[in-house]
Every structure is written in structure tokens, then in C-alpha cells.
Amino acid sequence: MLLGKYSQNVVGTYRAWYTVDVRDVAEAHIRMLESVNVSNGERFIAWSTETRNVEEVCANIDRLLPELGFAGAELVDPLPEKVQAKEDEFRAIWGGCELRNDRIRETLDMEFRPLDVSIRDCVESLISVGKVAPVRNA
């Protein structure tokens, strides 16, 4: 996205991104290892339950970092036309999913970072550490 283009979806159909910050995943792993409440072999889904459509993530970069002067990015949709014709249907199906993380939050006594924080920190890291040069307004 920072380089000026982004793909509609990488999983072959239209759906919102189900996200989790990698720092929250690391924290969950540590808490599970240290917890007396977690049994060996017990499994959890670590996600924030916040969802965004890919085009919203792209738009959020400018909202969260206006000083960046991000020029935005062009949507590239590589999906076949017959799939594109069903975009609204696919989005409605995925939009009906109920995402929950109450079990992991209660068991590990943790909260997940808001997606806005993850997006902002990711962009700042890509620029400062990854040396990504984002497209900027002229």
C-alpha cells in the first residue's frame, strides 16, 4: 500500500481482514507459557476481533498519519470477473461471522491493541526500519 498499489484480497474471495498485532500474539504466547490456568495442549485463537476491508486499511494510513502526506494507493483486483461479480455476496457472508476473543482475554487476562495502533505502528516501522519510501502527495 505504501508503494502505491494494493491487492483487493489474497485469499481468493472478498472479505474483511481479521487482524491481530504480532506483539499481542507474542504476549499471548508468553502468558500461556506462564499461566497456571492453561492446560497442556489447550488451543486459543489470538485475534483482536476488529475487522476492516482492505480499502479501509489503505485509507486509514492517511487518517492516522496525516503528516506523512501519503498519496494513497491504486486498487489492483486480480480476481476473475465471475468472482468480482459476487463481491457484495461474499462480503455479506463474511460480514455475518461473529468474531470472539473473550475466552483468550479472560483466561490470559489480556487485551488486544486497537487496529488503528497496529496500522500506525506498522507504517512507522516500515518507514524507519524497513526503509520503505511511501508515495507522497506532490
CATH of the domain at 35: 3.40.50.720
CA distance 61 to 137: 13
Ranges 20-29, 73-82, 127-136: which has the least confidence:
73-82
Q: What is the pLDDT of residue 54?
A: 84
Burial of 105: CB neighbours in 10 Å, binned 0-12, 13-18, 19+: middle
Residue 134: inside a domain, yes or no? no
Is the residue at 108 inside a domain?
yes
* Number of structural domains in the chain: 1
Residue 136 placed within a domain:
no
User: Can you give the residue range of the structural domain that contains 51?
Assistant: 5-128
The pTM for the full model equals 0.85
Residue 137 lies in a domain: no
Does any domain span residue 51?
yes
| Whether the predicted pLDDT of 61 surpasses 70 | yes
Residue 62 near residue 70 (C-beta atoms within 8 A): yes
Whether 138 is covered by a domain: the verdict is no
